[in-house]
Structure 1
C-alpha cells in the first residue's frame, strides 16, 4: 500500500464518519452544546479512528489488534451513550449501533473494498434519515399485509430450493422454480405500487394515486376511476387524465419486467413505449391544464380498491396464469406459426400483460432470432390491453369518459406501432 493509496483510504474512512455524523448531528442540532454524546465531529473522528486501527492492523499483520481496538472503542462509546441516555431518559440504541458501524466501516475502508464500505455507509445513513417515514409506514401497515409478506417469504425460501429447476413438460417451457420466481418478481413490483397507493394515494391527490395504481394494477385503477366518473360527471377530464397516466406507467412497467429478464429486448420495446407514453402524458397534461384546475377542488381523491399482490392465493394464481401462457405461446408458435403467436398475445392482453411479457422475454432470450417477433407480441398485448381499458372506461364511466380515454389511447397505440416499425 503506497502513500497515495493510504491517504485515499483514510480520507474515505473520514468521509464515512462525516456522512453518518451529518445525519446524527442534524437530528441532535437543537441539543445544548456539550450534551450530545455523538454528533458530526464525533462520528467523523470515529471513522478516522477505525481507519487508523485498520492501517495499524495491516502494518502489524495481526487481526487481533483490530479486535482489541474495536472492543475498547465499544466500551468507551457505549459508556458515554449510557450516561447521555440516563440523563435524558431516552432508550434508543440506534446511536450506539451507528457509532460501532462507522468504526468498522472506517477499518474496512483501509483493509477491504472502498466501494463496499461507501455503499454500506450510504445505506446506513439513508435508513437513519428515513426514521420518521419508516415509523409512519409501520403505523399504517395492517397485520394482514405483514402476514402476507411473511407467508410468501417463507414459501419462497422453502419452496424454491425444493421445486424442480428444470423443465417438466414435453415442450421444454415449464420450469417450476423459474415460474415461481417470476411470479414473486411480478408480485413484488405490484406490491411496490400497492404500498405507494396505501401511503400516498389519498394524501397526495388523484394523479399520484393514478401513477401508483398503474404500477400496482392499471386495470383496477381504470375501474376505480371509471366508477368515480359515474358519481362525479363534472370531473371526467381529470379522471380521464388519471386513467391515461396509469396506462403510461403500465407501459414503463412492461419495459422494466422485460429488462429484468432480457436486456437485449429493452430497446425494441422502450422506443415504442416512450412514443406511446409521450402521447398519453401530453394528452393527460392538456386535460389537466384545460379542465383540471376547475374540477380538482371538487373531486374526491380516489380510494383505489387493490388486492394485496403478495397474498399467497394471488401469487399462486399468477404463477398458474404464467404457466398457461408459456405453454399456450409455445404451442401456438409450433403448430400455427407467427400469426398464432400474435393471436395468443392479443387474447392474453385482454386480461393481463405480465404473463405474456414474461413468456415473450424468455422466448427472445432462448431464441434470439425470435426476439423481434417477441417484442412485437408484447406490444400487441399492451395495445389490446390499452384498448380494453378504454372500452371499460366507456362502459363503466360513460361515453364521455370513454371518448376522453379512447382518443388518446388510439393515438398512443398508433405512435407506438409507428415507432416499432421504424426501429
Structure 2
C-alpha cells in the first residue's frame, strides 16, 4: 500500500505532461514526423522525468539540501538538452520562439511538485499553463489591436494597484471618523478597472456600431455624462430614438454597477437593494432596446474616450474623498437626516461617491438608513438625468428618457415593496 501513493503521483505528473503535450502537438500537427521537437510523447516523458525527480528527492535518505541538489541538477541537465534541440529546430525553420522551451521547463517543475505531494498547486498551474498556450492567437490579436493610450491606461491601473495602494495608510484620517485613504483609493481602482474592462471588451469585439453599445459603455464610465452628451446631440435632428436608447442603456449599466459596488463593499445591504436595482435596470434596458430598434434618426455615435486619463482618475479620487467627508460630517452634525440630504445632492451628479461613503460608514449606520441613503442617491440621479434630457435635449429625446425613467423608478419601488413583503 505504501508504494501506491508515489505511483499515483507519478501518473499525475505524466498526465500533466500529456495535457501540455496535446496542445503543443496540435499546434504543430501539420508538421511531418521528425520535424517536431516536442509533442504528446515528449511532454509526457518530460512530466515523467519531473515526477521521477520529485520521487527521488522525496526519499527518506535525502535531506533538504540533498533534495535541492537532485532537483536543481536534473532540471539544469534537462533544460540544457531540451533548449539545444529547440535551438536547432529554430535555426532549421528560421523561426525563433522560447514558448515550447519554457512550457517544457514548467512541465518538469509541475511533475516534480506532483510527485512531492503538492497535487493541488501542480494541477492548477498545469491548467493555467495549457490555457495560456492555447490562447496564443487571442492574445496576439489583442496586442496587435491595443493602442498606446490603452496600454498606458493599463500601466496606470497596475501602478495604482501595486505601487500606490500599498503605500496608503488604512487607518482613517481627519475629523468625524476620518477617511481611510486606502479604502477610498481601492474604490477608485475598482471603478477604474470596471471602466477599463468595458472599454477593452468593446475593442476586442470590434468598434462600437450603434448608440445602444456606445451608451452601455458610456454607462460604465458615467451615465450622467452620457445622458448630457446625447441630449445636446439630439437637438436639431429629426429623430432621437437611438440617442435616447444610448442614454437609457447607460442608466441600465449604472444600476448594475451600483449593485456590484454594494455587493463588493457592503454585502449585508445587498438583499434590500439588489431586487429594486435589478428591476430598474431591466426596465431601462427594455426601453433602450425598443428605442434602438426604431432607428428614427441618424443616431451617429462617437467612440468613447479612453476611461483611464490620469487627470480624470485624480478628479474621481478627489470627489470620492470630498463626498465621503461631507457625508460623515453631515451624519455627525445633523444626524441621519444630514446623510440623506448629502446623498440626494450627490446623486445629482454621481451615485458611486455616495456608495463609497455609505458603505464605508455601514458599520456605524442602521441598516435602514444605509439602504435609504443609497436609494435616495439612485432616485436623485435618475430624476436629474431625466431633467437634463428635457432641459438640454430635444422634445422627443426628453420625453423618451423621462417616460423610461419614471417606469424604472416605479418598477424599482414595486420590487422593493415586494422584497420587504417577502422578508416580513
Q: TM-score, normalised by structure 2?
A: 0.85
Q: 386, 398, 401: which one pairs with 1:405? A: 401
> How is 1:268-347 mapped onto 2 (pairs within 5 angstroms)?
268-288=272-292, 291-292=293-294, 300=300, 302-309=301-308, 311-347=309-345
SS at match of 1:59: coil
- 1:53-92 equivalent positions in 2, closer than 5 A: 53-59=53-59, 61=62, 62-92=67-97
Relative to structure 1, the CA distance from residue 209 to residue 136 in structure 2 (aligned partners, 3 Å threshold; closer, same or farther) is farther
**In the alignment, which of 243, 250, 253 is matched to residue 254 of structure 2?**
250
Deviation of the 1:35 alpha carbon: 1.6
Cα contact 1:202–1:303 (8 A) shared by 2 = no
SS at 1:77 equivalent: helix
Corresponding residue for residue 110 of structure 2: 105
| Residues 159-183 of structure 1, C-alpha deviations (whole Å, 9 max, x = no match) | 4454443222121231223323332
In the alignment, the residues of structure 1 paired with residue 376 and residue 189 of structure 2 have an alpha-carbon distance, to the nearest angstrom, of: 25
Displacement of 1:16 in angstroms is 3.1
Give, in whole Å, the separation in 2 of the partners of 1:228 and 1:29: 54
CA distance in 1, matches of 2:160, 2:12: 41
- Measure, in 1, the Cα distance between the counterparts of 2:225 and 2:45: 53
How far apart are 1:356 and its partner, in Å?
A: 0.9
CA RMSD, Structure 1 to Structure 2 (Å): 3.1
The CA deviation string for residues 355-378 of structure 1, in whole angstroms up to 9 with x for no partner, is: 1111111111x23x5233212322
With 9-18 and 332-341 compared, the bigger mean Cα shift is at 9-18
| Partner of residue 141, structure 1 | 146
Residue 383 in 1 paired to residue 379 in 2? yes
The alpha-carbon distance between structure 1 residues 48 and 406, as it changes in their structure 2 partners (threshold 3 A), is farther
Instruction: Give the distance between the partners of 2:210 and 2:18, measured in 1 at CA.
Output: 38
Q: In structure 2, do the counterparts of structure 1 residues 53 and 306 end up closer, same or farther at CA, with 3 Å as the change threshold? A: same
For residue 367 of structure 2, give the secondary structure of its aligned residue in structure 1.
Answer: helix
- What does residue 42 of structure 2 align with? 42
Cα pair distance change 1:66/1:281, threshold 3 Å: same
Say if 1:325 and 1:356, in contact at 8 Å, map to a contact too.
Answer: yes
Give me the whole-angstrom Cα distance separating, in 1, the residues matched to 2:387 and 2:12: 58
- Give distance in 2, aligned partners of 1:329 and 1:57: 61
CA distance in structure 1 between the partners assigned to 2:78 and 2:339 by the alignment: 66
2:9 and 2:117 in contact (8 A); partners too = no
State how many pairs are aligned: 414
Q: 1:242 to 1:326 in 2, by over 3 A?
A: same
Q: Output one character per residue of 1:90-116: Cα deviation in whole Å (capped at 9) or x when no partner.
A: 111111111111221222233354333
1:240 to 234, 240, 244: 244
Q: 1:170 to 1:57 in 2, by over 3 A?
A: same
Uncovered stretches (5+) of structure 1, i.e. residues with no partner: none
Secondary structure of 1:202's partner?
A: coil
